[in-house]
Amino acid sequence: MDVRLPDGTIISNVPDGTTKADLVTKLQKNGMAVPADWLQQSAPAAPAQPVQEAGQAVNRGISGIPRQIGLTGRYGLEGAANALQVFTEPVAGLMRAAGINTAPLGQVATSFSDFVGLPKPRDELERVVGDATRLVAGAGAGLGGAQQLAKLPGLAGSVGSALSTAPTAQLTSAAGGGGLSGLSREGGGDELQQAAAGLIGGVAGGFAPGLVQGAAAGVKRALTPKMTPQQLDAQINVIFERSGGDYSQIPERARQALRTELRDALQAGREVNADAVRRFADFQASGLVPTRGMVTQDPVQITREMNLAKMGANSADDQLQGMARIQNQNNTRLIQSLNEQGAGRGDALRAGEQIASTVLGKQANLRAAEQSAWDAAKSSPGYRQPISPKVISDINQTLGEEGLMPFMNPTISQYMGAFQQGKQPFTPQDYRNLQSMLSREIAKGGNEGAAASAAARVLSRSEVQPITNPGGIDFGNSVLTGDMAQRLRSMDAAPGSAIDAVNRARGATRAAYAYEDSSPLVRSVLSKSETSDPLKIAQKYVIGGTPNQAQMLAQEVGPQGVPVIRDAIVAHLKDKALGGAADEVGKFSQSAYNKALSQIGDKKLALFFQPDEIETLKRVGRVASYTQVQPVGSAVNNSNSGALLLGRGLDMLRNVPVVGPMVNPAVQNVRATIQQRAAENVTPGLLGPVQREPVMRGLLNPAIAYTGGLLAPPP
C-alpha cells in the first residue's frame, strides 16, 4: 500500500497491516523526517495501574449518580406523558384542527424536563436506556391506573382487572420493546423497522419472567435428589394430616395415583392444596373420574363445568358431551360401589327373618332343655313324694303385700289352698303343675297376669325342701334301731333325688323365662302380634333403633347373622340415595345418602362393619358431595334453559352456509379443549396458587404505551 505523509511525501510499497508505530520506527531508521503528531501517537502507553484505574472508575460512577437520577426523572416524566397521549392526543388533534397550536403531551414533558435542567442522554447507550425506561414508566403508570379502575364495579372493574394482570410481564415487555426499538433506531432503522423491533422486544420481554421462572424451577428440579416412594408417602401423609384426613385409610391403588400426580410438584418444592389432594384420593379410591372443579371445589370452575355439561348434553355433537358422560359415569360408579358393599344382595325382609329365626331357635332350644329336665324329674322315684309347702305361704304373703291377691285366678288359689291346709301333700309333680298353671295365666296379661307373674317369681326363687318322716310316725323316746334308721334313710332318699332333678328342671325353666323376657327385641319376636312381623322387626331394629338396641341385635344374631344385617343396612342406604329407583335409571342423591348414613350413626355402624368398610361408606358420601355440590358463589344454570339455547345454537351454527363450517369447528375445538382440561387435567387443581405471567395480557399495556410513544415527535 502507499502512505502519504503530512508534507505530501508518498511512501510506496508499505506492507499491509503495518501500524503507524512500525512506520515511525522505520522512517527514523532511514533518517527521514517524522511528523510530530505521529511521534505523540506512537509514544508508548503509560504502564497500567489497575488499582488507580479502579478507583477512578468508582469516582466516575459516584460522580455520575446525580446525572443518572436526573436522567431517570426525565425518562419517567416523558414515559408517563407518552402513555397518556393515548387519551390526550385525540383531543389535542381536534384542537390543532381548530387552529389551536397544541404540543403533544410527551413534548410538553420533554420541554418541562429541559426547563428544570434535567440532563439529556449524550450517547447511544443512554438514548437506548432512555427508550426502555420511558416505556417501563408508561407501563407502570398504566398499571397504577388499571389497579384503581379494577376497584370499580361492573364492566369498568373487569377491564381494570384485565389490564392490571401480570404486572411483572407487563414491565419486562415494556423494557424489551423500548430497548430493542431504540437499538434499531441507533442502527439507522426506519420507523417501520423500529416498530417491528419494538414488537419483537415486547414479546420477548413478556416471555422473560415465565422463562426465568421455568428455568429456575428446572435447575431446582435437576439439583434436587429424587424422592423415594417412602419419602413421597411421608410428605403426602403430612399433607393429609393438614387437611384432617388419614392417609393410612387410602387403598394402595389410590396411593399410587397420588404419587404419580404429586411427585414432580413435591420434588420441586411446590405448595400443595391439602384439601384438594384429600378429595383426589377419595376419587381414586372410589373409582370415580374427578374434574378440576370437583377436587378444588372452586365455585367458578364448578360453574363452568356444570354449565358445560348441560350445554354439551343439549348439543347433537358428541364431542361436546364429554362432561355429561363423566357425570353419568360417576353416578353409575357410586351405585356400583354400594352394590359391592352388599347393597345388591341386601334385603330388610331377609334380615327380619334372620332375626326371628335366631330368636325362635334359641327359645326352642331352651324350652327343649326345660322339657328334657322335667321329664327326667318326673321319672325319678321321689317325684310324687311330699315336699315342704312353705312356698305356698310365701306366695300368698307376696300377693298380699303387693295388693295382687284379689286378682289371683280362683282356681289357682284353691289349688294352692289345698296344699297349705294339708288336705293333700305337696309333691314335685304338684310344683310343676302349679308352675304350668301360672305360666298360662301370665300369658293372658292384665292384673291376673301380674298376680300370676308375682306368684311365679316367688315359686322360682324358693328352696324346695323335703319333708322328713312324711308319714308322721311318732317314735317318741324309743331307741333308734338300725332297722328304723334304714327305713328313715329310704324314705328320705327318694324325695331328695327327685328334688335335685326338680331343681335342675326349675333352672331350665328359669333360663327359658329369662331369655323370653331378656329384651324388647326378643319380646317383640315372641309376641305373636303385629310387632312380630319380620319386616317390622327389621325396620325397627336394623334400619332404626338406638345404638343400645343395635348392640342387643348384634349379640342376638351373633357373628353368623351380622353379614345379613350389614347387607340390609347398605341396601337401605342405596334405596335412600336412589329414592327407590332401579340401578339403571336411579340418580344418586348425595344429600339423601349422607342424611341416611348420619341417622344410622358411627356407633351402630361399628357393630356390623369393619373400619375399612365404614370408611368406604363415608367416602362414597364425600365423593358424591364433591360431584354434585354447588358451593356458595357458583352460578350453575339449573333451569337448563341457557344450556339448551347454547347447545342448540352450536348445532344451528354448524348448518349456516359458508360461515358455519368455518366457525363451528373452532368452537368445537375450544369446547373440547375445555372439557379435556376440566375432566382430565386435575394436577393444577392439586397445587397451591402460583403467580403466573400470561404473555398476551402482559403485552396489552406495553402496546398502548408504545403507541403513545409513536405519537410524540422523535427526539
Q: What is the pLDDT of residues 4-13, one digit of tens each?
A: 766 667 777 7
Are 31 and 67 within one domain? no
3-state SS class at 11: strand
How much is the average pLDDT of 386-390?
Answer: 81
Grid cell digits, residue 445: 296379661
**CB of 178 closer than 8 Å to CB of 136:** yes
How much is the average pLDDT of 3-24?
Answer: 70
Are 34 and 76 within one domain? no
For residue range 112-130, list pLDDT tens digits in order. Answer: 888 888 888 877 777 777 7
**CB of 130 closer than 8 Å to CB of 700:** no
Are 32 and 72 within one domain? no
How much is the average pLDDT of 530-554?
Answer: 90
Range of the domain at 34: 3-44
Grid cell digits, residue 188: 439507522
Instruction: Identify the pLDDT of residue 709.
Output: 40
Of 705, 358, 709, 330, nearest in space to 526 by CA: 358
Task: Compare 710 and 649 and report the one with higher pLDDT.
Answer: 649
For residue range 460-501, list pLDDT tens digits in order. Answer: 887 767 665 544 444 444 444 455 455 445 545 555 677 788
Instruction: Identify the pLDDT of residue 312.
Output: 67
Specify if 167 maps to a domain.
yes
In angstroms, the CA 343 to CA 338 distance is: 6
Q: Is the per-residue pLDDT at 272 higher than 50?
A: yes
Q: Alpha carbon 273 to chain centroid distance?
A: 10
Furthest-apart CA pair in the chain: how many Å? 187
Are 455 and 561 within one domain? no
Band of pLDDT at residue 397, cut at 50, 70 and 90: very high
Percent of the chain residues topping a pLDDT of 70: 75
Q: Is the per-residue pLDDT at 656 higher than 70?
A: no
Are 149 and 192 within one domain? yes
Number of domains the chain contains:
4
Band of pLDDT at residue 381, cut at 50, 70 and 90: confident
> 562-573 as b/e, with b when 16 or more CB fall inside 10 Å?
bebbbbbbbbbb
Percent of the chain residues topping a pLDDT of 90: 24
For residue range 592-643, list pLDDT tens digits in order. Answer: 999 999 999 999 999 999 999 999 999 999 999 999 887 776 666 555 444 4
Instruction: Identify the pLDDT of residue 594.
Output: 95
Specify if 712 maps to a domain.
no
Among the three residues 572, 600, 628, which one is the final residue of a domain in this structure? 628
Are 115 and 16 within one domain? no
Q: Which of 51-65, 518-532, 644-658 has the lowest mean pLDDT?
A: 644-658
Specify if 714 maps to a domain.
no
Are 522 and 539 within one domain? no
150: Cα within 13 Å, side-chain hemisphere: 12
In angstroms, the CA 77 to CA 113 distance is: 8
Of 607, 571, 560, nearest in space to 357 by CA: 560
Specify if 697 maps to a domain.
no
Q: Is the per-residue pLDDT at 302 higher than 80?
A: yes
Are 8 and 134 within one domain? no
Residues present in the chain in total:
715
Are 146 and 85 within one domain? yes
In angstroms, the CA 623 to CA 254 distance is: 14
Band of pLDDT at residue 26, cut at 50, 70 and 90: confident
Q: Is the per-residue pLDDT at 447 higher than 80?
A: yes
Grid cell digits, residue 164: 392490571
Specify if 297 maps to a domain.
no
Instruction: Identify the pLDDT of residue 77.
Output: 82
Band of pLDDT at residue 646, cut at 50, 70 and 90: very low
Are 194 and 117 within one domain? yes
Are 413 and 505 within one domain? yes
Specify if 708 maps to a domain.
no
Band of pLDDT at residue 167, cut at 50, 70 and 90: confident
